[in-house]
Homo-oligomer: A and B are copies of this chain.
Amino acid sequence: MLVSALLTSVGINSGLCVLFFTLYSILKKQPSNYDVYIPRLLVDGTSKRISHFNLERLIPSPGWVRRAWNLSEEELLSTSGLDAVVFMRIITFSLKVFLVAGIIGIFVLLPVNCTGDQLQDIDLVDISNNSLDVFSISNVNSGSKRLWAHFCAVYIVTIFVCYLLYYEYKYVSSKRIAYFHSSKPQPHQFTILVRGIPVSVGSSISDSIQSFFTEYHPSTYLSHMVVRRTNKLRALINDAKKLYRRIIHLQSSPTQNKYRPGNCFGLFGRKVDIVDQYEKKLEDIQENVRLGQSDVSLAGEEIPAAFVSFTSRYGAAIAFHLRQSINPIQWVTEQAPEPNDVYWPFFSSSFMRRWICKLVVVVACILLTILFLIPVVFVQGLTNLSQLEVLFPFLKSILTITFVSEVITGYLPSLILMLFLKMVPPIMELLSSIQGYISHSGIEKSACDKVLWFTIWNIFFATAFSGSVLYQVSIVLDPRNIPAKLAVAVPAQASFFIAYVVTSGWTSTASELFRLVPFLWSLMRKPCTRSTDDDLEVPSIPYHRDIPRLLFFGLLGITYFFLAPLILPFLLLYFCFGYIVYRNQFINVYAPKYETAGKFWPIVHNSMIFSLVLMHAIAVGIFTLKKLSLATTLIFPLPVLTLLFNEYCRKRFLPIFTAYSAETLIKKDRDDQNDAAMAEFFDKLVTAYQDPALMPIQLSANPDSLNSPLLSST
């Protein structure tokens, strides 16, 4: 790719970003868009839709940037929880890393690269027609002593990243423990989920649980709640809700608002009939729901799984940590999620079934990865224009136009990839939910992992290898030659990934701020429904979409910083944008749906360690290729030490993220012992894990009851 193509891409994207930022500044101030841009404030009640018009509303202002900048970590913690803090720390962590790497890269490595003359055909005067390779390590002469600069950079950055990783792991885990200590008693702290409950003939699941836990945990057992398969009931309730909304909409449409059905005629008569019809239907469904909830057989069969609550956190922890039954696949225990975090639909209980589901998901992931190679290969074809001309000769005339070819090589490939990538997170989330996780947080965490590895494999490796060995029939995976192949393939894709950072990174941040999809959706929906602020659902941030993206850019930065330091300024800009934009969104848009108390951090840590080791492998390959065998040898201790460091961190910090220690739990239990509010809390705990589908719903066609417990069962 030429410098000019990159500049085209930067130009287009900078324009888009400025456009989005400006539009956001204006649109955000329009009361009609409050539900898109500040839903959180609306629901909290801190902002109201005030419709009086003034000129200020049309002038873009940067006030929101200042507000986002000024937000302290304590405020973020109190309003959005520890997960948001961890999310923001990914960005600040990356900023720190790439600031240091950037200084080294731009002021040391870039001059070294430029002054090399390995690539002969350089024309330093007409820089815009140069290949970007001039700025990369490819331009340094083979065997040159200058390569030691790169060698030192690799060492310095590795040590710096490891130091930061250690510090951050320590910080996040201390935050996690502090969060637990300061938390109020919460149902999930006292509860475990038990699956694989054996039932003897003639007794119910409930009896079985009761007798088991009173037998073996007599002093701490409190209550239990058997899980039921309520798919049918849930479908009925959804139907009821839909009908209810439609009725509300019909009733609230201007012409119908003040007239009761009896007073109407003509065209309105028909409408009245519809409302009547709907109301009758709704009553029928509600009757069915009520019947189902009262009659056990209709409510769906009992599943041999239950939420079992204890009178102390320590009691619950004991039941969770110790294998309960002689048969290891019976009475399987796990920590319960928060009550509103439970994912009811795919509630599978049998050991074998969950196991088979897991296998199916693994196979599905592999298939998806293979299928995804098709667009990647196509995109790679676009960056190699000459190949495209060979394949489609009729395009030749168009491709000779400079601007077209620059758009095609600089902008289009990453855009196409980005669009395809957009589909991955929802698919992975679906797969994770099939896998048998019982909580939304578990599903998102697993999806986050899947999306991350999918991205790394399908974007990084597939791009690197298919770009340079597109015409090879198969990519032979020979473990000993991986560094050599990486050393050839990865630097060759430097320009693509710089463009990718600009296109995918910048645009995604801008569109995150602008909330393009919700905005368009709200525009389309507005004429059809009467939306009230009470009806508004505050979205939660899709961690499984955004964390892998941040981590992938981190991987790009770490692997490319010594190959093509030119990527670093673009990355730094991306993370700066991200810093402001996500803070702004946490203030205005997203509300936490659940709290994992920092459980996403181990994913970040692992991804960074992988990036470092990958970078070392590439360094080994590069130094071999550049015939600097001493450097090759001296790089080898680095991945070993990094992996040992990782192993140490796994031992030192990871256990804190899986479960709390006896010390912590007992202290917390003792703090609560003298609290008078605990009796009330235990009363509530007994019913905390009731399936929402089994809770009474109240939907009446009376608009006064809009604040009904309807939302309690969403």
Contacts and interface: CB of A to CB of B under 8 A. Distances in A.
A219 to B, nearest CB: 10
Contacts of A661: 322-326, 328
Given A477-B480, A478-B478, A644-B359, A651 B317 contact: no
A15 to B, nearest CB: 48
A662 B479 contact: no
A194 to B, nearest CB: 12
A217 to B, nearest CB: 8
B326 A177 contact: yes
Contact of A351 (B351, B355, B651, B666): B651
Nearest to A659: B323
Nearest to A314: B322
Interface in A483-504: none
Interface string A643-654: 010011001111
A656 interface: yes
Interface string A439-476: 00000000000000000000000000000000000001
A324 B662 contact: yes
B655 A323 contact: yes
A100 interface: no
Contacts of A327: 652
A328 B662 contact: no
A680 interface: no
Given A478-B478, A644-B359, A662 B322 contact: yes
A146 interface: no
A477 B477 contact: no
Contacts of A319: 662
Interface in A195-224: 215-216
Contact of A476 (B177, B317, B329, B480): B480
A684 interface: no
A663 B328 contact: no
Interface in A623-645: 644
A666 B663 CA distance: 23
B663 A325 contact: yes
Contacts of A427: none
Contact of A329 (B359, B478, B651, B663): B651
A321 interface: yes
A324 B480 contact: no
A661 B216 CA distance: 11
Contacts of A478: 476, 478
A368 interface: no
A687 interface: no
A47 interface: no
Nearest to A665: B322
B659 A328 contact: no
B324 A321 contact: no
Interface in A325-343: 325-329
A663 B213 CA distance: 10
Interface in A176-198: 177
A158 to B, nearest CB: 19
Interface in A355-410: 355, 359
A152 interface: no
A318 interface: yes
Contacts of A705: none
Contact of A663 (B324, B477, B648, B664): B324
B479 A328 contact: no
A654 B323 CA distance: 12
A662 B661 CA distance: 19
A394 to B, nearest CB: 40
Contacts of A359: 644
Contacts of A659: 323
Contacts of A323: 655, 659, 661-662
Interface in A293-336: 317-319, 321-329
B328 A322 contact: no
Given A323-B662, A325-B663, A477-B480, 15 more contacts: A215-B666, A216-B662, A317-B322, A318-B662, A321-B321, A323-B655, A323-B659, A323-B661, A325-B661, A326-B656, A326-B664, A328-B654, A328-B655, A355-B651, A359-B644
10 contacts: A216-B666, A317-B322, A318-B322, A318-B662, A319-B662, A322-B662, A326-B656, A328-B652, A329-B651, A351-B651
Closest 8 CB pairs of A and B: A328-B655, A321-B321, A322-B662, A323-B661, A324-B662, A321-B322, A326-B661, A216-B666
